């Protein structure tokens, strides 16, 4: 370690400026903006917690959006952790084909959410979609998917599993490679089955990765925007109106920055609460 205040500060100053201006300042503005209201004439006034109060007490659109977002998150996060973990476990052995499948599984993560949305919009098209072709081929009834309020959100969940599983799988593969081989060898001498090895060695030692993926994925999914914007526009009947999209509409369609900022601040709050409980839960369950 070198000691030189002046030199060190010169090196960090550009980065610090960027962080302060484009990250820290906006976080502050977001909170402040959520406490103001803009009138029709464009003047801003401080209104305290009125925006929040209104959202929670008199805003059915917000409540609907809030519950849709919670439901979406509660389903999609554990699901992605499960699928990505399973895929990582399947690819943990080294065969000549392991690398190929790893690339295939990750491939969707290299594609943007906008393009992934385009792909799934047409795959799940009610009239000409690929999914319905498969369904009718196997003798099932064609489904409305994004056109139905009961199915649209599940379409978004499916889209997300398709796009994100391979990405988080890579984290699990990295985690699996850190588990010492000797543990498995010892277990084999004791005659442990593959299933037993997975539950008694792999999963407990993967706890930190699991909780990291769960937390990071939660934050990420609470902020889902592109699929809603491109495919459903929040519909049908508000069934896919995730909070991030509602906040966007509020800010840039209805020009109500106060409401929009209040929604994103609430969203950040929810993410923090969720992350906290997820960390607590995964620690409590797996620590040994």
Partner 1 sequence: MKKRSLWKTLILFAVLGIISLFFLIPLIWVVASALRPASPLYEYANPLTWKSFIPAEPTLENFVHIFVNLNFGRALMNSLFVSVSTIFLTVLVASMAGFALAKFEFRGKAALFTIVLITFMVPFESIVIPLYILIKQLRIDNTYWALILPGVANGLAIFLFRQFFSEVPSEIMEAARIDGASWFRIYWRIVLPLSVPAIVTVIVMVFMFQWNSLFWPLVATHSSRFEVVQVAIAAHRSTENTSWANLFSSAIAGSLPPVILFLFLQKYFVRGISGTGLKG
* By CB under 8 A, residue 156 contacts partner 1: no
- Rounded Cα–Cα distance for residues 40 and 256 (Å): 10
Of residues 71 through 130, those in contact with partner 1 by CB under 8 A are 87, 90-91, 93, 95, 97, 101, 103-108, 110-115, 118-123, 128-130
- Written as six digits, the tokens of 69 are 């977002």
> Is 214 an interacting residue with respect to partner 1 (CB under 8 A)?
no
267 binding partner 1? (CB under 8 A)? yes
Rounded Cα distance, 257 and 250, in Å: 7
Query: In terms of CB distance, is 121 or 152 closer to partner 1?
Result: 121
Q: Is 170 in the site for partner 1 (CB under 8 A)?
A: yes
Phi, psi angles (nearest 5°) of residue 192:
-75, 145
What does the DSSP 8-state code read for residue 95?
Answer: -
The DSSP-derived string for 225-248 is -HHIIIIITT-STTTT--HHHHHH
Q: Select from 14-22, 73-81, 143-151, 280-288 the region that touches partner 1 (CB under 8 A).
A: 14-22
Nearest to 221 by CA among 150, 257, 168: 168
End-to-end CA distance of the chain: 37
Neighbours of 261 (CB within 10 A): 22
Out of 69, 73, 84, 132, the only residue in the binding site for partner 1 (CB under 8 A) is 132
Residue 183 structure tokens: 């543990």
Using the rule CB under 8 A, is 257 a contact of partner 1? yes
Q: Determine which residue in the list 25, 49, 199, 281 makes contact with partner 1, applying CB under 8 A.
A: 25
Choice between 143 and 247, CB closer to partner 1: 247
Q: Which region, left, alpha or beta, applies to residue 191 given φ > 0 means left and ψ of -120 to 50 means alpha? A: left
Tokens, residue 156:
């978004």
Sole binder of partner 1 in the list 171, 217, 234, 239 (CB under 8 A): 171
Among 54, 230, 235, 279, binds partner 1 (CB under 8 A): 230
In the window 36-75, what residues touch partner 1 (CB under 8 A)?
none
Answer yes or no whether residue 136 interacts with partner 1 by CB under 8 A.
Answer: yes
273 lies in the site for partner 1, by CB under 8 A: no
Closest separation between CB of residue 281 and partner 1, Å?
Answer: 19
**Does 228 help bind partner 1 (rule: CB under 8 A)?**
no
3-state secondary structure of 223: coil
């Amino acid at each position: 370690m070198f000691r030189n205040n002046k030199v060190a500060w010169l090196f960090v100053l550009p980065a610090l400026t960027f962080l302060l201006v484009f990250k820290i300042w906006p976080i502050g503005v977001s909170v402040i903006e959520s406490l103001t209201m803009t009138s029709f004439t464009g003047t801003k006034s401080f209104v305290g917690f009125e925006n929040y109060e209104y959202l929670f007490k008199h805003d059915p659109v917000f409540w609907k959006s809030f519950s849709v977002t919670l439901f979406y998150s509660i389903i999609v996060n554990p699901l992605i952790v499960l699928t990505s973990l399973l895929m990582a476990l399947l690819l943990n052995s080294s065969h000549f084909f392991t690398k190929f499948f790893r690339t295939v599984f990750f491939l969707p993560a290299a594609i943007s959410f906008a393009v992934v949305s385009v792909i799934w919009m047409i795959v799940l098209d009610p009239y000409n979609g690929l999914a319905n072709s498969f369904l009718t081929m196997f003798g099932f009834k064609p489904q409305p998917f994004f056109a139905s309020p009961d199915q649209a959100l599940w379409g978004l969940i499916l889209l997300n599993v398709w796009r994100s599983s391979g990405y988080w799988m890579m984290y699990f593969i990295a985690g699996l490679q850190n588990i010492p081989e000797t543990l498995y060898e010892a277990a084999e001498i004791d005659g442990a089955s593959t299933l037993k090895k997975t539950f008694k060695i792999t999963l407990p030692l993967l706890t930190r990765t699991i909780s990291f993926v769960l937390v990071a994925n939660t934050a990420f999914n609470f902020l889902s925007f592109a699929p809603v914007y491109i495919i459903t526009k929040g519909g049908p009947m508000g069934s896919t109106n995730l909070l991030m999209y509602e906040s966007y509409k509020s800010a840039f369609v209805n020009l109500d920055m106060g409401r929009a900022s209040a929604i994103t601040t609430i969203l950040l709050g929810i993410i923090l609460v969720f992350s906290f409980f997820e960390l607590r839960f995964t620690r409590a369950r797996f620590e040994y």
